[in-house]
Copies of this chain bind each other. A is one copy, B any other.
Amino acid sequence: VRPRIVTLLSDFGTADAYAGLMKGVVLSICPEARVVDLSHEVPPQNVTAGALLLRSTVRFFPPGTIHVAVVDPGVGGERKPILVQAGGATFVGPDNGLLHPAASERGINRIVALTKGEYHLPRVSRTFHGRDIFAPVAGHLARGVAAEDFGPVLSEMKTLPLATASRDANGVVGEVVHVDRFGNRPFRA
């Protein structure tokens, strides 16, 4: 069995240890997991920016990769923690639209609510589900726990309204959602 890759995407930055300790949680449960940072520099609580970054990246990882994404302004509220299986990848994070563009592009196979407490840390806070729910679920997935074991299957997940572009007589009309450090606009409408 080849080691499972677990990617991490968040708006945590790297000045705090939030990203680092999520790796500790994953590796405590599955020491063989390969943890890879996508980015922790998503603008704080910007779900759309995180969703686009995730969507643009997933296709370059091998089948079986587990993608944990945490941009979660509604943590502790009513939004559900979920996992989504889509086209060979598994996404883990909040059901706030963050996972939808990446998952729907690959074809959603199964959505599961993360309700089973035995796969979470013993004490779940109201402010850090990345550490307390998403990282341990990723660790258990990496160990081979089946998606259905984490909770009930859901029939739908939250979508994310993304800017669209149109062409008129004067050119292209859309919304700039991201400019990279070289001045490129890879997601330009």
Q: Which A residues are closer than 8 A to B by beta carbons?
A: 2-3, 5, 7, 9, 12-25, 27-28, 31-32, 34-41, 44-45, 53, 56-57, 60-62, 65, 127, 131, 180-182, 184
Contacts of A7 in B (CB 8 A): 20, 24
7 smallest A-B Cβ distances: which pairs? A20-B38, A24-B60, A24-B61, A15-B41, A28-B62, A21-B60, A17-B57
Contacts of A31 in B (CB 8 A): 2-3, 5, 34, 62
Interface centre among A20, A22, A40, A53 (most CB of B within 10 A): A20
Select from chain B the residue with minimum beta-carbon distance to A65. B24
Contacts of A53 in B (CB 8 A): 16-17
Contact A181/B37 with A28-B61, A57-B21, A60-B24 known, Cβ cut-off 8 Å: no
17 residue pairs from A and B, CB less than 8 Å apart:
A2-B31, A5-B31, A13-B41, A14-B41, A15-B41, A15-B181, A16-B53, A16-B181, A17-B53, A19-B39, A20-B36, A20-B38, A21-B56, A21-B57, A25-B60, A27-B36, A28-B62
